[in-house]
Structure 1
């Protein structure tokens, strides 16, 4: 299998399966001297781990990270950073009834057709548990970005039809509710909606929004490696993602040039924009404004309702999925989206260092 490596200079390689011995990641290209310890990485993993509320799977995993290499006495050494999380609560028997059946909404069919074999225990590499490696790497990337004054804020904008309007955002409330919404009151309504989904053995989707502050102008390349295109690739690599938009996104189709363009002005000898329809990106490069993007997360495909499907030997059948599954993926996916954004931006920041000769001369004191 190829495709488990992402990035050019800040490069991550994830490994492991949902029901294997462990999940992990190797991070290559992180500069030496970055202050980093286990607790920094664990804080990110705790936002992703199961069992946080009745709206997440009850699989009992501590998701405790182990640092195998690349960090010494609290600082990165410049060598590859290897991180591992051991699986502790696998119940492979929960998946015995789907060993030869294709689950609707999952990768079972396509995986089998491509490789002629699949690990049916939770989906193997196609499982959401694969994102542990991404989140651990995202913690490292975020630590690097914080050193550069770049900060990322990510949250659930909507759960099913329950949405928080931007005028009602309270960023200080994001971590005060189990759904990671920027409004506690609306989170209560979203919880009531999810309770109905649970009663009906159904699931829900939602929208995750991400804001990046402090990006310098010019991050990203003008052609194939645009900032927005790299972010789209990174976010779409998350299994449950079905849509991505930046700035005004799909709404721009309803606008005119006179309303969509962001006018420039000068204040205190600095160039600013009066609006931010672009979402902080112009021509594939950061424009110095807040980077804003959103992604749509599909409803959890594993539901306890009877579903029509087929077996590997092409017979029609009915399936009721057993086991421990999230009725909604969105809350645990918030930190996954944030991590992929951090990894992408860190990689493009390092690539940007050779864009101008005067910058290279300054670095080498020429």
Structure 2
């Protein structure tokens, strides 16, 4: 299977299946000398692990990470960093029935057609547990970015029909509710909406918004390595994400040049913009302003309500999916969005170091 790696100079390769022995990642390109321990990784994994509330799958996993290589005496060595999380609460029997049919909204049919075989236990490689490796790798990228005063803030912007109110936006509130919404009132309304979904044996989608602070001008390249294009690939590679927009996004379709262009101005002696409809990128490169985007997350396809499908014999049947599933993926996906964003930004920073000859000469002659 190709396509399990992401990034160029800072690169992650994830491996493992939902009900295999474990899930992990190999991180290439981390500079030597970074202070790193398992606690640095664990605090991010704890945000995505199951069983945090009634709105997440009740699979009981500690998701305890082990660093297997690339760290010596508390510092990264510059060699590949391998990390692993053991799977300990697999209920594979819950999935034995689905070996004979194709679940709506899942990749079962595509796997069978492509490979002639599939791991039906919890979705195998296409399970949400694959994101453990992304979060572990992203935790390293985030720690490096912090040393350059670059920070990432992601949160649930909407759950189903409930959206946050910008007038009540409070970053401190994100960690105070299990839905990771920066608006306590919206979080309460969203919780009531999800209760209704649970009663109806149904699920919900939502929107994750992400803001990136402190970026320099010029990250990304103007053709095939555009920063916004690479962010889109990173975020759309997350299994449940079906849409991506940056800045004004699809709103530009009804705008005009006069209303959509961001006028330049001088601010504190530096070139700035009066507005930010571009979302922090111009020509595929960061423009020094706040970079922000939104990701649309689909409803969890595994629901207990009766659905129509087809089995391997070509017979149309009705099913009710068993097992332990999230009624909404959005809250646990917030940290995954942060991780993939950090990996993309760090990779762009490392690539950008070769953009100017004078800076290469300064680096090697200093």
The question of whether the paired residues in 1 share the 8 Å contact of 2:28 and 2:81 is answered with yes
Distance in 1, Cα, partners of 2:244 & 2:168? 22
TM-score by length of 2: 0.99
Q: How does 1:46-61 map to 2 (within 5 A)?
A: 46-61=46-61
Determine whether 1:189 maps to 2:189: yes
TM-score where L is the length of structure 1? 0.99
Alpha-carbon distance between aligned partners in 1 of 2:74 and 2:149, rounded to the nearest angstrom = 20
Equivalent residue number for residue 292 of structure 2: 292
Partner residue of 2:127?
A: 127
- The 5-angstrom pairing of residues 319-334 of structure 1 reads 319-334=319-334
Q: Distance in 2 between matches of 1:351 and 1:237?
A: 21
> Could you give the per-residue CA deviations for residues 100-138 of structure 1, whole angstroms, max 9, x where no partner exists?
110000000011100000000001101001000000001
| Cα contact 2:165–2:186 (8 A) shared by 1 | no
Aligned structure 1 segments of 4 or more residues deviating by more than 4 angstroms: none
Aligned residue in 1 for 2:5: 5
> After superposition, where does 1:97-246 map in structure 2 within 5 Å?
97-246=97-246
Aligned length in residues:
366
- 1:228 is paired with a residue of what secondary structure? helix
- Distance (Å, rounded) in 2 between the aligned partners of 1:322 and 1:257: 52
SS at match of 2:275: coil
Note the alpha carbon deviations across 1:241-291, whole angstroms, 9 max, x for none. Answer: 010000010111111111111111112321111111010000000000011
Is the aligned partner of 1:355 residue 2:355? yes
Structure 2 contact 165–183 (Cα < 8 Å) conserved: no
1:278 aligns with 2:278: yes
Shift of 1:73: 2.0
Q: Give the Cα separation in 2 of the matches to 1:157 and 1:268.
A: 32
Q: Is the 8 A contact 2:226 2:285 kept in 1?
A: yes
Matched residue, 2:40: 40
- Could you tell me how far apart the structure 2 residues matched to 1:112 and 1:88 are? 27
Deviations 1:144-176 (A, max 9, x none): 111111000000000000001323211110000
Alpha-carbon RMSD? 0.7
The gaps in structure 2 that reach 5 residues or longer are: none
Q: Residue 208 of structure 2 aligns to a residue in which SS?
A: strand
> How far apart are the structure 2 equivalents of 1:11 and 1:168?
38
